[in-house]
């Protein structure tokens, strides 16, 4: 059983992990190397795809002989495969690490098994230390790793009666400046932003994340367009810092797997009601972000179209995670029941 000191150092490893990037397919991982008497010898964290993993980074700060007989405290099971870097298991064995304590099992079919391999080579291994805290920390990454697709956040802005445009189709602007600025900040947190071809043809969006003064944020989401219609040669998204990705949208689950294979961990869906409804019908929305403006419009321009709900028992039930006032508008954050 993990000692109180090991639990304390696991909390430190989680703090270190938070230094890593939140975007991309790699997890945030932290590691602490500690001597048999409890002295911290080295600390490290993973800085992103292609860089040293947390265990290797921590070992790099330890003398060549000092790691022999030491303990590695790491937030995620050491990987057991060769990707852009070698297996962390090999690095730990080569360093002479005697004990490995980790929080969460690696869910990857290729990268998992590190704990068993370490144990088979005589290393004392303990898993599940502060598992709940670590799983909460790795929540989004674990969701994508276990499902094999990006985390999907669906956003729309509407009037109180659920309309996204007036009777004549005009929709600029339903919400206020602060709400729109808030959306742009959310865009920067996602690897990609998605719309359908209908939105591109109707609104000609740039699909960039911009400050209140119109400047581009440093972190830009990759633009993704679902649909088969041709895009105009002068579409603004063609000026995006990243080349746009085209997917036909006929099989959203397959499309999402394709995106994850391209290194996209999170997708911010801002398309119109057709695309939004397709994601909801398919049960592929992990989080809803809805901005409600203090206005009523009436009419036919609803945020969502037919969802195949025939009676109240078939309703898509959501859990309310957060409510925030953003200027004169309200932002609701919700997740499907059972996913929070």
**Where in the chain do CATH 3.40.430.10 domains reside?**
148-336
DSSP assignments along 52-69, one per residue: PPHHHHHHTTS-TTTTTT
Task: Give yes or no for a contact between 299 and 169, defined as CB atoms under 8 angstroms apart.
Answer: no
Q: Is 215 a catalytic residue?
A: no
Q: Is 194 annotated as a binding residue?
A: no
Of 6, 55, 77, 287, which residue is the catalytic one?
A: 55
148-336 has CATH 3.40.430.10 classification: yes
CATH of 4-142, one of 3.30.70.270, 3.40.50.2020, 3.40.140.10, 3.40.50.10490: 3.40.140.10
> Which residues are CB-neighbours of 54 under 8 A, at least 6 positions away?
13, 16, 17, 29, 30, 31, 44, 45, 46, 74, 75, 76, 88
Q: Where are the beta strands (DSSP E) in the chain?
A: 30-34, 40-45, 71-76, 99-104, 124-126, 151-159, 192-196, 222-226, 245-247, 266-269, 287-293, 318-326, 329-336
Q: Is 313 annotated as a binding residue?
A: no
d(CA 250, CA 228): 9
Name the DSSP class of 302. B
**Where in the chain do CATH 3.40.140.10 domains reside?**
4-142
Task: Single out the residue of 279, 272, 332, 282 nearest to residue 303, CA to CA.
Answer: 272
Q: What is the pLDDT of residues 141-178, one digit of tens each?
A: 888 888 889 999 999 999 998 888 777 767 677 899 99
Q: Is 167 annotated as a binding residue?
A: no
d(CA 307, CA 295): 25
Q: Is 103 annotated as a binding residue?
A: no
Task: Give yes or no for a contact between 65 and 35, defined as CB atoms under 8 angstroms apart.
Answer: no
Q: What is the pLDDT of residues 216-262, one digit of tens each?
A: 998 899 999 999 999 999 999 999 999 999 999 999 999 999 999 89
> Which residues are CB-neighbours of 11 under 8 A, at least 6 positions away?
130, 133
Q: Dihedrals φ, ψ of 45, to 5°?
A: -150, 160
Q: Is 171 annotated as a binding residue?
A: yes
Please list the pLDDT of the chain residue by residue as tens digits (340 residues).
Answer: 778 899 999 999 999 999 988 777 788 999 999 999 989 999 999 998 788 899 999 999 997 788 999 999 999 999 887 777 778 999 999 999 999 999 999 887 777 889 999 999 999 999 999 999 999 999 888 888 888 899 999 999 999 988 887 777 676 778 999 999 999 999 998 999 999 999 999 889 999 999 888 899 988 999 999 999 999 999 999 999 999 999 999 999 999 999 998 989 899 999 889 999 999 999 999 999 999 999 988 888 888 888 888 889 888 899 999 999 999 999 999 999 876 5
DSSP percent split of the chain into helix, strand, coil, nearest 5: 30, 25, 50
Tally of CB atoms within 10 A around 126: 17
Give SS3 for 176.
coil
């Amino acid at each position: 059983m993990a000692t109180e000191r090991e639990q304390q150092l696991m909390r430190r490893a989680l703090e270190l992990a938070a230094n890593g990037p939140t975007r991309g397919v790699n997890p945030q991982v932290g590691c602490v190397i500690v001597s048999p008497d409890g002295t911290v010898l080295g600390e490290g964290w993973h800085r992103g795809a292609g860089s040293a993993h947390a265990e290797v980074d921590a070992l790099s700060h330890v003398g060549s002989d000092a790691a022999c007989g030491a303990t590695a405290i790491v937030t995620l099971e050491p990987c057991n495969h060769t990707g852009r870097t070698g297996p962390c298991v090999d690095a730990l064995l080569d360093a002479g690490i005697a004990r490995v304590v980790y929080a969460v099992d690696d869910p990857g079919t290729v990268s998992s098994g590190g704990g068993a391999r370490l144990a088979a080579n005589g290393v004392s291994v303990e898993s599940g230390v502060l598992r709940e805290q670590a799983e909460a920390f790795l929540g989004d990454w674990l969701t994508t790793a276990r499902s094999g697709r990006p985390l999907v956040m669906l956003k729309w802005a509407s009037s109180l009666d659920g309309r996204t445009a007036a009777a004549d189709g005009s929709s600029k602007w339903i919400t206020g400046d602060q709400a729109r600025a808030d959306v742009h900040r959310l865009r920067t947190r996602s690897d990609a932003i998605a719309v359908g071809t209908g939105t591109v043809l109707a609104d000609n969006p740039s699909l960039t994340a911009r400050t209140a003064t119109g400047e581009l944020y440093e972190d830009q989401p990759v633009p993704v367009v679902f649909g088969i219609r041709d895009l105009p040669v002068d579409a603004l998204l063609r000026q995006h810092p990243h080349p746009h990705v085209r997917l036909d949208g006929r099989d959203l689950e397959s499309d999402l797997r394709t995106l994850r294979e391209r290194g996209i961990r999170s997708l911010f869906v801002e398309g119109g009601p057709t695309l939004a409804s397709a994601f909801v019908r398919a049960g592929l929305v992990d989080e809803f972000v809805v901005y409600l403006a203090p206005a009523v419009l009436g009419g036919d321009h609803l945020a969502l179209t037919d969802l195949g709900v025939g009676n109240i028992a078939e309703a898509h039930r959501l859990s309310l995670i957060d409510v925030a006032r953003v200027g004169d508008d309200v932002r609701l954050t919700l997740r499907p029941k059972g996913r929070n």
